Amino acid sequence: MTFHPVALTIARTSDAYEYLICHMTKNTKVIAVSNQKGGVAKTTTSINLAASLAMADQRVLLIDLDPQANLTSGVGLKGQSTAAGTVYDALTTEGTPAQEFVLATGVDHLFLVPSDRHLTGAEIELVTMTDRDQRLRKFVNALRGEYDYIFIDTPPSLGLLTLNALVAADTVLIPLNCEYFALEGIADLMSTLDRVRTSLNPGLAIEGVLLTMYDDRTNLGQQVGGNIREYFGEKVFNTVIPRNVRLGEAPSHGVPVILYDARSRGAEAYVALAREFLTRAQQTAVPTTH
């Protein structure tokens, strides 16, 4: 069958065509950014990797699954929610279409499901709910096809919220800060991943391990980086995120570092990470059925 070129041009710009393309060709990858330690750059990595991918024309959704809601404030949407509510409502209520929880951010192609303090209660409320560890998976699966990547920023614990993220995800990205205790607790995270694989999510893979807050002037940084590479091998991203003051400042302005100071070492590092991430993603197949 052939189409008149003008008809084809009109069709390609129509909403229906856009819808078709989204639903037929997009193979969404869902990545949980996880490490039960606080302060290892989970949120910083979620914001800045996602924003760098969005700037490379990828459609990206961030899900803030931490009651501290640092991710929500980091993209300038502190205290905001949709008419449907926040991620708390998405997890604890039924019947609202998932897309109604999504907010646009100030960055093109970058979207957010916001969080707030209410989410603290979800850890407890979920315990008595049916499918308590699969609530997020249901929500996320309803959004597959709409985005190229969905990043879930998790809280600093291995509780029910993190479990929901690991059950919903295709892969886990593990940020490790290059300090002496970096690998402490990693065995717990690994055994949680194993447990999730043997029960609810057999396909869960490690996306990569990211060295953050790296200070190459100290022997300690190099030594810890070396130990991590020994432990995780090929899984460690070649890109390393240096300690950079701009990365700490950007969230208070509600923007990703690339919009705050694009020339900073922090911004450059996350853009390099996005490039490496995309190259790796092309090399690994994404599961199509869920």
Of 186 and 247, which has the nearer Cβ to ligand ADP?
247
Judged by beta carbon distances under 5 to 8 A according to partner kind, the member of ligand ADP, Mg ion, none in contact with residue 174 is none
Size of the site for ligand ADP (CB under 6 A): 18
The only residue of 29, 59, 135, 243 in contact with ligand ADP, by rule CB under 6 A = 243
Q: How far is the CB of 137 from ligand ADP (least distance, A)?
A: 22
Q: Could you tell me the sign of the dihedral formed by the alpha carbons of 130, 35, 141, 93, in that order?
A: positive
The 10 Å Cβ neighbour count of residue 130 is: 6
Q: How far is the CB of 66 from Mg ion (least distance, A)?
A: 5
Per CB under 6 A, does 163 bind ligand ADP?
A: no
**Which residues in the 33-52 window bind Mg ion by CB under 5 A?**
42-43
**Which residues in the 199-218 window bind ligand ADP by CB under 6 A?**
212-213
Size of the site for Mg ion (CB under 5 A): 3
Q: How far is the CB of 251 from ligand ADP (least distance, A)?
A: 6
Q: How far is the CB of 169 from ligand ADP (least distance, A)?
A: 17
Choose the binding region for ligand ADP from 42-50, 89-97, 157-165, 226-234 (rule: CB under 6 A): 42-50
Per CB under 6 A, does 42 bind ligand ADP?
A: yes
**Which residues are at the interface with Mg ion (CB under 5 A)?**
42-43, 70
